[in-house]
Amino acid sequence: MLRLRELSRRVEAVYGEIAETFSDYQQRQGLQCRSGCGECCLAPTIEATVLEMLPLALHLFDQGKAEQTLSDLGQLTQQQSCVFYQKLSFDGKQGQCSIYQHRPSICRMFGAAGYRDKTGQTSLSVCKTIKSDHPAKYQQSVIMLQSSPPPLMMQSKEQVNELDYQLGNRHYPINTALQLALEQVLFKASYSFDQPDQQIA
């Protein structure tokens, strides 16, 4: 159980670096998200590994909410957007994350991030809302790809997932990844009940 806690601490340490790296780039280039925008969270295609959801699963366990959350996730009948997104507008485009401190790595890169294109060159991916809010800044960022390259999304995700091959080698829809992470935590907890580390993980 201690192993899961230690692993989670290491994941969170990398999360701190990722958030800073991506936020620095977005601020430097003037590509910040629109205030209150939650469009990225609406997409049911957001994926994460079980490892990326481990800090959140442990947080829910510590709050006594692991079983209830697992049960809620089990009621989902189809792939849908993240259950932790709180819509604040009728169309759902305005909203907020209810577990912001524990969000997985992909959520720390929303907005503007780099990726390798088919030729292996660094390209820039920027959401359509930021592009329309800051068209000149976006153009300038594309021109500056060589002199001011964006941090690479895959590289940052690998930084996390290489911490544990078994939990970090496969991506799932975000709700499924959390479900599997909670199952891991509850399974370990049931075996460590009689041991000194009763807090699990």
Binding site for ligand SF4 (CB under 6 A): 41, 46, 82, 84-85, 97, 99, 103, 107, 174
**Sign of the torsion formed by the C-alpha atoms of 167, 170, 174 and 176:** negative
Question: What distance, in Å, lies between the first and last C-alpha atoms of the chain?
Answer: 3
Task: Kindly tell me the burial class for residue 3, based on how many C-beta atoms sit within 10 Å of its own C-beta (0-12, 13-18, 19 or more).
Answer: exposed
Shortest reach from residue 111's CB to ligand SF4, in Å:
11
Shortest reach from residue 57's CB to ligand SF4, in Å:
12
Q: Quick one: 15 or 85, whose CB is closer to ligand SF4?
A: 85
Shortest reach from residue 144's CB to ligand SF4, in Å:
27
DSSP symbol at 73:
H
Question: In which element (H, E) is residue 187 found?
Answer: helix 174-191
Shortest reach from residue 100's CB to ligand SF4, in Å:
6
Nearest to 174 by CA among 165, 164, 182, 163: 182
Q: Quick one: 86 or 132, whose CB is closer to ligand SF4?
A: 86
Burial code (b: 16+ CB inside 10 Å, e: under 16) for 30-41 equals ebebbeebbbbb
Q: Quick one: 1 or 179, whose CB is closer to ligand SF4?
A: 179
**Residue 87: strand pairing partners:** 95
Shortest reach from residue 42's CB to ligand SF4, in Å:
8
**Sign of the torsion formed by the C-alpha atoms of 121, 15, 101 and 168:** positive
Q: Quick one: 126 or 178, whose CB is closer to ligand SF4?
A: 178
Q: Quick one: 4 or 177, whose CB is closer to ligand SF4?
A: 177
